[in-house]
Structure 1
Amino acid sequence: MVHKIAEHQTQVPPATDLYQIDHLLSEEERMVRDTVRKFVQERVLPIIDQHFEQGTFPRQLIPELAELGLLGMHLDGYGCAGLSAVCYGLACQELEAGDSGLRSFISVQGSLAMFPIFAFGSDEQKQRWLPPMARGEVIGCFGLTEPDFGSDAAHMRTSARRDGNDYVLNGTKMWITNGSIADVAVVWARAEDGIRGFLVERGTPGFTTSDIHRKLSLRASVTSELHFDDCRVPVENMLPNVRSMRGPLSCLDEARYGIAWGTTGAARACFETALEYAKTRVQFQRPIGSFQLVQRKLALMATELVKSQLLALQLGRLKDEGLLHPVQISVAKRNNVREALETAREARTILGANGITLEYPASRHMNNLESVFTYEGTDDIHTLIIGQALTGLNAFS
């Protein structure tokens, strides 16, 4: 018996699951992960390089994403899958292993567009919008960031003035994922009684969009500006159940949660590519994986991947138990994006000159992660959120 135990303990765990996190997942969680992973391998990876190079979003995948139940999958009712936070996180992990742009689409649709309607909308708004959004028939976007106000969103200039049975919106929102393909925009504006959310439908007079081009990051994603010029929105299109920055900030927490998971997928994709390359690329009559410097890089990448995955998993468990605090999201978002970006850079060095081509995913992920490092709260902002939690002192004002 002792011999058998010792023999079992000497078995090396798989390189991409060094801490055997798979054993911490339920059967349902593994099924969700494996289903999305298979979809990414079969439907995303064969085409994503071309879309990244051409600067286009693979819109043809939207019905398939909806068929898999990935749109608003963590919401209950209204045609949504109602799965756990961990299941949602695992789906984000696998989607971002394909491309950050694809995970961003899912995050915006579910966490930034559907969630505020679910959390703050009227019964009529929920019934009207959520079922077709879950089916992928209606695409949403989230309008908060402005040209002059990103991190300091509380000082937004976009205004909403009550005029009879309408609100009149004026202002501009910038860096909006899905903006020009969205059928409805969840727009946050300054009204007389505070920050309010509005559902602005495509085609509303005074509402126009323009895409942001010449991007070096998130190229397989639609990024737009939203323009409001005396745009009249019916009173019934205002989200009635929130009035303050609590509305948009709670949505950002939902999206940041998905990012904390998603970036582990990008890191894993880069690590797997570098590991396989190191074992097969021969220089000086031996695989480069036999060199100490390369092994050190791989060891560091594997260790940070394990740490990030465990952070994300505990974050999900806390969310499912109703114990999650925003500062915990900041810890995971900040750490996991940082380490994924460093992993992508290290993977590129192992790949050498080949790493700058689209034949390998490292530089594509690296470029994408530069945006993820900034959006949904910059690295600096999350650092200060953590610092305030530790000291009780506010560094923002």
Structure 2
Amino acid sequence: MTLITSERLAQVPSATDLYNIDHMLSDEERMVRDTVRKFVRERVLPGIDQHFEAGTFPRELIPEVAEMGLLGMHLDGYDCAGLNAVCYGLACQELEAGDSGLRSFVSVQGSLAMFPIYAFGSEEQKQRWLPRMARGEVIGCFGLTEPDFGSEAAGMRTTARRDGNHYILNGTKMWITNGGIADLAVVWARTDDGIRGFLVERGTPGFTTSDIHQKLSLRASVTSELHFEDCRIPVENMLPNVKGMRGPLSCLNEARYGIAWGVLGAARTCFETALDYAKTRIQFKKPIASFQLVQRKLALIATELVKAQLLALQLGRLKDEDLLHPVQISVAKSNNCREALNIAREARTILGANGITLEYPIIRHMNNLESVFTYEGTDDIHTLIIGQAITGLDAFA
């Protein structure tokens, strides 16, 4: 029998790691996490609030992100880092601790633009695009959502009509992260042979983009519309190895996986900010952290953060063992986005009026999380996916 001594009981766990999850990580996983955390602390945080306020994306960071091997880091070969799923998740977590916009950029590049080429492209397409995308020389985006079709992506109206050695693409895609800065768009369109994916290069006649402005969320991120008007795409630019919604949905699952991790970084930053503030904010001659109601808020935040971290870690272990089912991704994406948003809102209340200014990061993360809660499948859609899995009944129709 192992006795718990008073000395061992005296070792209080970290406020942001109550379950010693750090101990469950490999040396390589901790190294990736710590490297990205240092980068965010030194290069992202000093200016991200200004980018958020100005509504600009920190493009100057792209070469550094690429140099760290974060673009397509979970893919093997083609100059990609080939790291495991947990490493990828931890990197997303640390990037989003800086800002959701930066994590979104990395997620779109690796999971939504590089992954479909890696999984469904020809060898020529892989050799042509993936190494340059891994080095950040080519920026990609993912065109699925349309003005009239978000959750019902299969209802898309964008079409690609075969014309000799080309396809003629017509339609509009909306809410496209990286769209205005992308050199290559992975676009899904309806053909006579079903839904297919196409690689559309910037500069192709008939392909234009327009950025979406007046956003109050994800302001440090480029969000755009993609417009296609009689845009001629060579046949060899079609992804040859997938047909139907399986293609775009598998890409979305890759992105949702990263989101389930990423939002924990935003939540942790909000928690750390509220905790530090509560310890130093003096009211009624003592720090507000000494009040029962504030401690209750902090305790609930810390508990939900631990639960979400454990959910993400198990998700990563399942993915690394090729045991992951899409329903499990929906559970983690839905739960972690919901709880991260709740954590941000609760943390904001601890700061009172100070919590609504960009002097502190909470309101920035809270606004960003409103978008992350919605994109790559709304909470409603993920709830129905989970409901269908546990009841065997389809509630979509």
Identity of aligned residues (%): 85
- CA shift, 1:4, in A, is 7.6
- Asked if residue 10 in structure 1 is aligned to residue 10 in structure 2, the reply is yes
Corresponding residue number in structure 1 for 2:51? 51
Corresponding residue number in structure 2 for 1:301? 301
What CA deviation, in whole Å up to 9, does each residue of 1:109-136 have, x standing for no partner?
Answer: 0000000000000000000000000000
- Asked if residue 92 in structure 1 is aligned to residue 92 in structure 2, the reply is yes
CA gap of 1:196–1:4, structure 2 versus 1, over 3 A, is closer
Q: Look up the SS of the partner of 1:365 in the other structure.
A: helix
- CA shift, 1:145, in A, is 0.1
Q: 2 CA distance for matches of 1:4 and 1:85?
A: 35
Corresponding residue number in structure 2 for 1:170? 170
Corresponding residue number in structure 1 for 2:312? 312
Q: 2 CA distance for matches of 1:2 and 1:114?
A: 50
- Counterpart amino acid of residue 54 in structure 2: Q
- Counterpart amino acid of residue 218 in structure 2: L
Corresponding residue number in structure 2 for 1:268? 268
Q: Look up the SS of the partner of 1:395 in the other structure.
A: coil
Matches within 5 A, 1:109-120: 109-120=109-120
What CA deviation, in whole Å up to 9, does each residue of 1:343-363 have, x standing for no partner?
Answer: 000111001111000010110
- CA shift, 1:7, in A, is 1.5
Corresponding residue number in structure 1 for 2:231? 231
Corresponding residue number in structure 1 for 2:350? 350
- Counterpart amino acid of residue 237 in structure 1: N
What CA deviation, in whole Å up to 9, does each residue of 1:80-136 have, x standing for no partner?
Answer: 000000000000000000000000000000000000000000000000000000000
- CA shift, 1:12, in A, is 1.1
Q: 2 CA distance for matches of 1:119 and 1:192?
A: 23
What CA deviation, in whole Å up to 9, does each residue of 1:262-298 have, x standing for no partner?
Answer: 0000000000000000000000100000011100000
- CA shift, 1:375, in A, is 0.2
> TM-score, normalising length from structure 1?
0.99
- Asked if residue 282 in structure 1 is aligned to residue 282 in structure 2, the reply is yes
Matches within 5 A, 1:118-267: 118-267=118-267
Q: 2 CA distance for matches of 1:175 and 1:2?
A: 56
Corresponding residue number in structure 1 for 2:30? 30
For structure 2, the residue ranges without an aligned partner over 5 or more in a row are none
- Counterpart amino acid of residue 361 in structure 2: P
Q: 2 CA distance for matches of 1:392 and 1:361?
A: 42
Q: 2 CA distance for matches of 1:12 and 1:277?
A: 21
Q: 1 CA distance for matches of 2:54 and 2:7?
A: 52
Q: 1 CA distance for matches of 2:3 and 2:62?
A: 53
- CA shift, 1:326, in A, is 0.2
Q: 1 CA distance for matches of 2:161 and 2:5?
A: 72
> TM-score, normalising length from structure 2?
0.99
Q: 2 CA distance for matches of 1:3 and 1:32?
A: 35
Q: Look up the SS of the partner of 1:109 in the other structure.
A: helix
- CA shift, 1:2, in A, is 7.7
Pairs aligned (count):
397
For structure 1, the residue ranges without an aligned partner over 5 or more in a row are none
- Asked if residue 77 in structure 1 is aligned to residue 77 in structure 2, the reply is yes
- Counterpart amino acid of residue 337 in structure 1: C
Corresponding residue number in structure 1 for 2:101? 101
Q: Look up the SS of the partner of 1:304 in the other structure.
A: helix
- Counterpart amino acid of residue 373 in structure 1: F
Q: 1 CA distance for matches of 2:299 and 2:114?
A: 40
- Counterpart amino acid of residue 22 in structure 2: D
Q: 1 CA distance for matches of 2:5 and 2:203?
A: 68
- Counterpart amino acid of residue 278 in structure 1: A
- CA shift, 1:225, in A, is 0.1
What CA deviation, in whole Å up to 9, does each residue of 1:291-326 have, x standing for no partner?
Answer: 111000000000000000000000000000000000
Q: Look up the SS of the partner of 1:83 in the other structure.
A: coil
- CA shift, 1:28, in A, is 0.3
Q: 1 CA distance for matches of 2:202 and 2:138?
A: 10
What CA deviation, in whole Å up to 9, does each residue of 1:330-388 have, x standing for no partner?
Answer: 00000000000000001110011110000101100000000001000000000000000
Q: Look up the SS of the partner of 1:167 in the other structure.
A: strand
* Two-structure CA RMSD over aligned residues (Å): 1.0
Matches within 5 A, 1:354-369: 354-369=354-369
- Counterpart amino acid of residue 270 in structure 2: C
Query: Structure 1: which 4+ aligned runs deviate by more than 2 Å?
Result: 1-6
